[in-house]
Amino acid sequence: MFVIQDVDYAAPWRVKGIGGGLDLHGLYIDVPCPGCGFGLDVQMIDIETQSWTRCPSCRRRIHLLEPDGSVSIGIRNSERALDQLYGAFQAYGKRR
């Protein structure tokens, strides 16, 4: 869960793409502007670092907050799982 302005946001999000291989910090997600509902493309690193952004539709300044650390923890756990999966594929390939 992360917070946009003072609005708790735990609604469904849509994956936009991954930048930089398996580095999930570059993952884009689509979140609605709390002011007008316009879909914003936000990188996970922007949420993790609690950056500010501006809605291109209503020009509202939006502070991306991560009060409980769930984004950081989720990224770290997902990257660890992907590394383990990659290692399993490599081990399988060596056995053949």
Can you spell out the DSSP letters for 3-40? EETTEEE-S--EEEE--STT-GGG-EEEEE-TTT-PEE
Average pLDDT over residues 53-71: 87
Confidence check: pLDDT of 96 > 80 = no
Average pLDDT over all residues of the chain = 75
Cα torsion 78, 64, 26, 18: sign: positive
Residue that wins the pLDDT comparison between 75 and 60: 60
**Is residue 17 within 8 Å of 39, Cβ to Cβ?**
no
Residue 68 in this model has a pLDDT that exceeds 90: no
Q: How much is the average pLDDT of 48-73? A: 87
The tens digit of pLDDT for each residue in 76-95 reads 888 788 778 888 888 887 77
pLDDT tens, position by position, 4-47: 443 444 433 444 444 334 667 778 888 899 999 999 999 888 88
pTM for this predicted structure: 0.58
